[in-house]
Structure 1
Amino acid sequence: MAGEFIGPVLLWLAVIKALQLGTWPALDRTLGSLAAAAAYPASVLLFTLLSWYCGLLGLPIWLALLPFLAAIVLAGSRGFYTRERLRPALPWDLAFLVPFLFMLEVRWINPTISYAEKFMDHAFIASIMRQPIVPPLDPWYAGGTLDVYYYIGYWMSGVLGLASGVSSTVTFNLVLPTVLGLAVVSLYALGHLLLDRYRWLPVLLLFIPNPSAIYHIAIGDSWFDVLWGSTRTIANTINEYPLFSMLWGDVHPHVMSFFNQGFLLFLLVFAYMRWGTLSMRGRAILCGLAALALGSMPGINSWDVLVYAPVTLVFGLLIWWRYGNLALDKKRSWMMLAVVPPLAIAAYLPFYLQLDSPGIGGIGIVPTPSEPVEFLLVHGFFLAVLVASCARDIRKRPYLLLAAVPFMLAGYPAAAVVAIPLVYLLARRRFAATDTLAILGLLIVLITEIIYLKDNMGETYFRMNTVFKFYLPAWILMGTASLAIVGEWLQSVRVGRRMPAGMEKVLPALAVALLLAAPFAINVGFGYGSHTLDGAAYLEGSHPGDAAAIAFLRDLPGNHIIIEAEGGDYTYYSRISSFSGIPGIIGMPFHEYMWRGDGGRISERSADVRTIYEQPSRTVDLARAYNATLLYVGVEERDRYRVSIPADALELIYDARGVQIYRIPA
């Protein structure tokens, strides 16, 4: 069964490589030996942006490929792709390919679009691939679009699927391998800036669990409980870390953003460390890349920009201070600060103008902060490294420990823990790249202990989204800094104690072998495994009627709106719109309520769907009110409703395996 997916995977990889090859020459003079690495994430972001504008202007998506292909031809004619240049770049290809293959194995073992947010994730991808228009159609709200949500990550996924000719149900399982590969390349490149040896260490932040997972292993929990329990450690919140997010398998905004976070940090640190050596052209390219990464964040995962816009401003100020002494100097060291933010907004300006999201409802003070033990079970590894790195400073100036006292007195003990390494790093006032990353990560977790962003998650889970969405950037910032510090410690070991050169080559090969064997050694199937890359393949066994009908609908030409049963969130209902990409009247109503609020009249739509199925005298007129063209009657519809439809007034266009699909007359 695996053999039938070799072709789609190779086509997908060919598109990724073509994008990278087309972008690499433009970055070569600016980024030097790191250009081939940066070209991987940069090219995917650039292709996403260009294809999005094609969709906005009503142009074919494939036109976005032409600039990359033209760049390859031009660079090739000038002799850019020589053996001398390609061979040193091979490690970057492997840095992408190895984690890609690791996640491909994980997705092959457990590919099903069947639980958590997967129905939603695929529904958005399928909708975009069926009709790549801007803004995309909302598959769960007929007549509405995805302008209520940050959908650019789904757009990226969908257009890569269209460009490679891969179906949406296979595309779904190629996205996370791609995200992980791009994230590894970005962090490995960042490691080249921060470390002279052990440059792979920052990559580990993507593969290590939090201390809570170790605790759950120690008490003998099952594998599933280890993963789930370690991400629900702080009461009434979600504390995901990258390894869990990848294994869990939701193609969700907070996961798709990993690579872009790493890429932006690479660019900011590169600018901070090498601005003085760059030409004016190089500085402009670096600003453009940073604007591309930062400008993509609100569309991929809007929460990230609340972190990385300030991060960008901090690095912009540091660059200006380091190279221009905060003056209008000849090196234009103020460019990162003055050019990147407005250019980032301009990149996706139509997206912001179209956005109709309710946003947040304000800022609140956290009344019940994290318990210290729970907090340390989430952040303990990185905090331990950061505190240890400040040990000498603590001995010299122990009085700075008093910085924790105000937080203790105010009832925020976890914030008091964070304040200790934070105040010592600030007191150093050296603001090296590693220190700055650590300071920024610590500030995030400190702030989220004290304030939260108000949303509609209710009183019990008032803090859930704030912790969930901000802890992941904090993990990446603190993880990068902590692992770089570990690398500095290892580098400081006397030469005689250093690892033999041969061993340094053997260990990476062993690590690769273990990584690729790991998915088969541990349970990553969670009981859903079906050993395929087609996320809908399981329907053949569990829902054969739906499987055949969905295949029919996916090939049905024309623009349609379909009526199907609605049965709440995180259920198998709304499966036809999810798997086909054809919009339904209403699906997963709480999600739609979160995006549209009371103005969406969500409960009214759910009631209308019931009426369509149960009151034949109103079926046609009510269906027409939503411009519906198709009516689906399957097992779920019969279980959910007392189905009584006016079959004589409808055109039966499909009848097989207990499923009927009717065309509603215009």
Structure 2
Amino acid sequence: MSPEAQVLMVLSWLVLVKFLQVALWPRLAGALGEYAAPVAYPASVLIYGAVSWYAALAGLPVQTALAPFVALAGYALYRGEYTREALRSALIWDAVFLAFFAAMLSARFVTPSISFAEKFMDHAFLASVMREPVVPPLDPWFAGGTLDVYYYLGYWIAGVLGVTAGVPSTVAYNLALPTIAGAAAVTAYATGRLLVPRLPWAPLAIFLLMNPAFIREVVIGTPVAKVLWNSTRVIDGTINEYTFFSFVWGDLHPHVSGIAVQFLLIFLIAYALCRWEESGERARWTVVGLSALALGSMPAINSWDVLLYAPVIVAVGLLIWRRHGDLRYLLAVPPLGIALYAPYYLMLNGAGVKGPGFVTAPSDPVQFLFVHGFFLAVLIALLLPEIRRMPALLLVPVPFALAGYLAAGIAALPLAVLLARRKVSPEAFLCAAGLVIVIVCEFVYLQDNMGETYFRMNTVFKCYSVAWILLGTGTLVAAGKRLAGVVRPERVSAAQWRALGAIAALVLVIIPFTVPIGYGSGTHTLDGAAWIAEQHPGDAEAIAWLRTQEGDLTLVEAVKGDYTYYSRVSSFTGIPAVLGMPFHEQMWRNDWPEIAQRKNDVQAIYEDPSRTLSLMEKYGVTHLYVGDLERSHYQIALPSEGLVPAYNAGGVTVYIRQ
């Protein structure tokens, strides 16, 4: 894939994203004013994803979703709403979006490979959507099955953007991540402009901050390539990701796809708490509608998020009711969010979790502080005057400590101080929400099939990612307000601020080229599959050929362990295989007898010529793949009749069933 082709793909993708934003923005301007432009970035992409999903459900091409945006843009042009002044006022928002898009694009250009961790899964789902955008999408690792067993809307949105922009899945993967980063950053900056206008950049620091464990790893001399990874494996038996790591690590996983939605909802929450009284009916209903759009998408993008944000939305609604006597946010947002995505929910067929469990082995307090210590230290420092006025609150951690849950007690202290306030500011509300999440994680987890050692791994992993964003945004805004009163940012001219912003953006783009992170294989391309051509040229050519084949195809390839090079054909083509990544399928389907049967049948297809054709027919297999992995894993013995080589090159033969 030539550099020129990749540049055109980036431009095509950006033009599409910008068109969606520009089309929606004027319709929000009457309600949100200057904040319409930043909100339109994530909101327009969410709407495009939802409309394209409904289009596919109706049997229409996903590009049909462009029609309402074309109509919106045409209407805005007719009304003369794209004035020079309006476009100029939006430049700052475009600059923030593009700065973080470019920084993440730079990181993906340096480490582009889709080659380990959850990346095989992420691309497999993306490729499935893009190959055949049907509802629900086909499961690439379970022939005959669909992705209704998993929350797939994030992959769907990235996929339909790729289909519409004409970008292949291996590049769309590395453009989706920068888009998420840009959309999240621009709404984080909007939150800064809203809550701390004298230092609006404060919330953006969350995209650059590492946890205290990162500092520890640097101090003890951990190799650079392992520092980030080790900083997310701190509390025993859990994963402790944070925003910076999630983007640098580069999994296009649900918890990452949902980051932009979280920052959109955080802005809307802050806006509702700040501006509800002065807002007119149109603004209030716009905030309600956008909040419903964001909240309703969460179960479809990353279901863990809605478990945490639904109570937050209820709390916001109660605060608005108490302060302004208006129940619409409380009563309208949850049901409207459900209604917007109701067909998706009704189709969802996941095995789910087994219910809540009680944590009997809580976090080690020191490990807990290595994860949350930075924000806790800053927050407690900001709250010291209040703690001095209410010293009795220092006793709050005691009962937690006596019960053996000291980590929860540490977080309970600042929470108690915040709750003792007569009026809770938006940033205090965000901090309190984050603190409640980390405290609850010390007592409750959702049971799954991860085993005894990692019994609360998923709970801590998904919940801490959300808590980091809530607590981090609230703390950074509060610190920004305190800092703005000390450094007097108004002494810096607008031109100087723009220059500083440009320098910061340039530094963000350059840094990935200077830090030897070394995740994955291959570099200096946006093609996430380029590494296969270097390390497995035979597979690369065969996969490229299969990607050109049209129709309802099903293939069989070697099956072994998860997180390996096995299942590489289905992962990089999106063509469903009889079975791929067995442990993942077990987590989603909770049907080990069926999975084990498929694994045995795949082996029989390759090794028992008397059953090859009948088993291929059983699963609707059209293509049988024989490469180096298959030869090393099975004693290949295929029937002499009934199979025709359709492809034979580079040590790979692909047979089709007659």
* TM-score for the superposition, normalised by structure 2: 0.98
Q: Does 1:354 align with 2:355?
A: no
- Taking the aligned partners of 2:503 and 2:7, their CA distance within structure 1 comes to 25
Q: What is the RMSD of the two structures over their aligned residues, measured on CA atoms?
A: 1.4
Counterpart residue identity of residue 125, structure 2: F
Cα shift readout 1:392-427 (whole Å, capped 9, x = no counterpart): 111111111111111001100101101110111111
Q: Which residue of 1 aligns with 2:123?
A: 122
- Taking the aligned partners of 2:267 and 2:640, their CA distance within structure 1 comes to 61
Change (3 A) 1:151 1:600: farther
Q: Which residue of 1 aligns with 2:428?
A: 435
Q: Which residue of 1 aligns with 2:157?
A: 156
Q: Which residue of 2 aligns with 1:521?
A: 514
- Taking the aligned partners of 2:494 and 2:349, their CA distance within structure 1 comes to 57
Counterpart residue identity of residue 223, structure 2: S
Counterpart residue identity of residue 11, structure 2: L
User: 1:614, CA displacement in angstroms?
Assistant: 0.1
User: 1:599, CA displacement in angstroms?
Assistant: 6.0
User: 1:527, CA displacement in angstroms?
Assistant: 5.2
Contact 1:247 1:524 in 2 (8 A): no
Cα shift readout 1:433-465 (whole Å, capped 9, x = no counterpart): 111111111000011011111111000000100
Q: Which residue of 1 aligns with 2:568?
A: 575
- Taking the aligned partners of 2:417 and 2:276, their CA distance within structure 1 comes to 27
Contact 1:109 1:524 in 2 (8 A): no
Q: Does 1:543 align with 2:544?
A: no
User: 1:600, CA displacement in angstroms?
Assistant: 6.2
Q: Which residue of 1 aligns with 2:141?
A: 140
Q: Report 1:649-660 matches (<5 A).
A: 649-660=642-653
Q: Which residue of 2 aligns with 1:387?
A: 380
- Taking the aligned partners of 1:252 and 1:658, their CA distance within structure 2 comes to 33
- Taking the aligned partners of 2:213 and 2:241, their CA distance within structure 1 comes to 11
Change (3 A) 1:377 1:94: same
User: 1:33, CA displacement in angstroms?
Assistant: 0.6
Contact 1:593 1:600 in 2 (8 A): no
Q: Does 1:50 align with 2:59?
A: no
Q: Does 1:584 align with 2:585?
A: no
- Taking the aligned partners of 1:561 and 1:380, their CA distance within structure 2 comes to 50
Q: Does 1:603 align with 2:604?
A: no
User: 1:283, CA displacement in angstroms?
Assistant: 1.8
User: 1:368, CA displacement in angstroms?
Assistant: 1.1
Q: Does 1:376 align with 2:376?
A: no
Runs of 4+ off more than 3 Å = 494-506
Q: Which residue of 1 aligns with 2:332?
A: 339
User: 1:432, CA displacement in angstroms?
Assistant: 1.1
Cα shift readout 1:545-592 (whole Å, capped 9, x = no counterpart): 111111111111111110111121001111111111100000000000
SS at match of 2:90: helix
Q: Which residue of 1 aligns with 2:224?
A: 223
Change (3 A) 1:457 1:58: same
Instruction: Answer with 142-151 or 538-547: which moved more.
Output: 538-547
Counterpart residue identity of residue 54, structure 2: Y
Q: Does 1:63 align with 2:64?
A: yes
User: 1:509, CA displacement in angstroms?
Assistant: 2.5
Q: Which residue of 1 aligns with 2:549?
A: 556
SS at match of 2:655: strand
User: 1:153, CA displacement in angstroms?
Assistant: 0.3
Contact 1:407 1:415 in 2 (8 A): yes
SS at match of 1:58: coil
* TM-score for the superposition, normalised by structure 1: 0.97
User: 1:78, CA displacement in angstroms?
Assistant: 1.4
- Taking the aligned partners of 2:635 and 2:592, their CA distance within structure 1 comes to 29
Structure 1: 5+ residue stretches without partners: 325-332
- Taking the aligned partners of 1:37 and 1:497, their CA distance within structure 2 comes to 23
Instruction: Answer with 116-125 or 648-657: which moved more.
Output: 648-657
Counterpart residue identity of residue 95, structure 2: L
Cα shift readout 1:615-654 (whole Å, capped 9, x = no counterpart): 0000000111111111111111101100000142212211
Change (3 A) 1:337 1:210: same
SS at match of 1:538: helix
SS at match of 1:339: helix
Contact 1:442 1:474 in 2 (8 A): yes
Contact 1:97 1:181 in 2 (8 A): yes
Change (3 A) 1:389 1:659: same
Q: Report 1:504-515 matches (<5 A).
A: 504-515=497-508
Q: Which residue of 1 aligns with 2:297?
A: 296
Q: Which residue of 2 aligns with 1:80?
A: 81
User: 1:117, CA displacement in angstroms?
Assistant: 0.7
Instruction: Answer with 545-554 or 1-10: which moved more.
Output: 1-10
Cα shift readout 1:7-54 (whole Å, capped 9, x = no counterpart): 000000000001001100110100001101111011000001000101
- Taking the aligned partners of 1:142 and 1:283, their CA distance within structure 2 comes to 47
Contact 2:198 2:489 in 1 (8 A): no
Q: Which residue of 1 aligns with 2:317?
A: 316
Cα shift readout 1:38-78 (whole Å, capped 9, x = no counterpart): 11011000001000101111111111011111111111121
Q: Which residue of 2 aligns with 1:330?
A: none
SS at match of 2:103: helix
- Taking the aligned partners of 2:341 and 2:523, their CA distance within structure 1 comes to 39
Q: Which residue of 1 aligns with 2:41?
A: 40
- Taking the aligned partners of 2:201 and 2:407, their CA distance within structure 1 comes to 31
User: 1:277, CA displacement in angstroms?
Assistant: 2.3
Q: Report 1:607-646 matches (<5 A).
A: 607-646=600-639
- Taking the aligned partners of 2:593 and 2:439, their CA distance within structure 1 comes to 36
Contact 2:196 2:481 in 1 (8 A): yes
Q: Which residue of 2 aligns with 1:2?
A: 3
User: 1:4, CA displacement in angstroms?
Assistant: 2.8
- Taking the aligned partners of 2:242 and 2:472, their CA distance within structure 1 comes to 11
Cα shift readout 1:506-540 (whole Å, capped 9, x = no counterpart): 43222122111111111233252321111111111
- Taking the aligned partners of 2:488 and 2:181, their CA distance within structure 1 comes to 34
Structure 2: 5+ residue stretches without partners: none
Counterpart residue identity of residue 304, structure 2: W
User: 1:282, CA displacement in angstroms?
Assistant: 2.3
- Taking the aligned partners of 1:389 and 1:145, their CA distance within structure 2 comes to 50
Change (3 A) 1:600 1:255: farther
User: 1:497, CA displacement in angstroms?
Assistant: 10
User: 1:286, CA displacement in angstroms?
Assistant: 1.5
- Taking the aligned partners of 1:507 and 1:54, their CA distance within structure 2 comes to 44
Q: Which residue of 1 aligns with 2:306?
A: 305
Cα shift readout 1:302-358 (whole Å, capped 9, x = no counterpart): 00000000111111111111111xxxxxxxx21110001001011111111111111
Change (3 A) 1:172 1:37: same
Cα shift readout 1:165-201 (whole Å, capped 9, x = no counterpart): 0001110111100000000011011111110211011
Counterpart residue identity of residue 519, structure 1: P
Contact 2:106 2:510 in 1 (8 A): no
- Taking the aligned partners of 2:441 and 2:309, their CA distance within structure 1 comes to 15
Counterpart residue identity of residue 433, structure 2: L
Instruction: Answer with 371-380 or 600-609: which moved more.
Output: 600-609
SS at match of 1:587: coil
Q: Does 1:532 align with 2:525?
A: yes
Q: Which residue of 2 aligns with 1:327?
A: none
Counterpart residue identity of residue 474, structure 1: A
Contact 1:111 1:531 in 2 (8 A): yes
Contact 1:239 1:467 in 2 (8 A): yes
Q: Which residue of 2 aligns with 1:407?
A: 400
Q: Does 1:89 align with 2:82?
A: no
Counterpart residue identity of residue 47, structure 2: L
Q: Which residue of 1 aligns with 2:257?
A: 256
- Taking the aligned partners of 1:443 and 1:334, their CA distance within structure 2 comes to 24
Q: Does 1:458 align with 2:451?
A: yes
- Taking the aligned partners of 2:283 and 2:210, their CA distance within structure 1 comes to 38
Question: How many pairs does the alignment contain?
Answer: 657
Instruction: Answer with 597-606 or 70-79: which moved more.
Output: 597-606
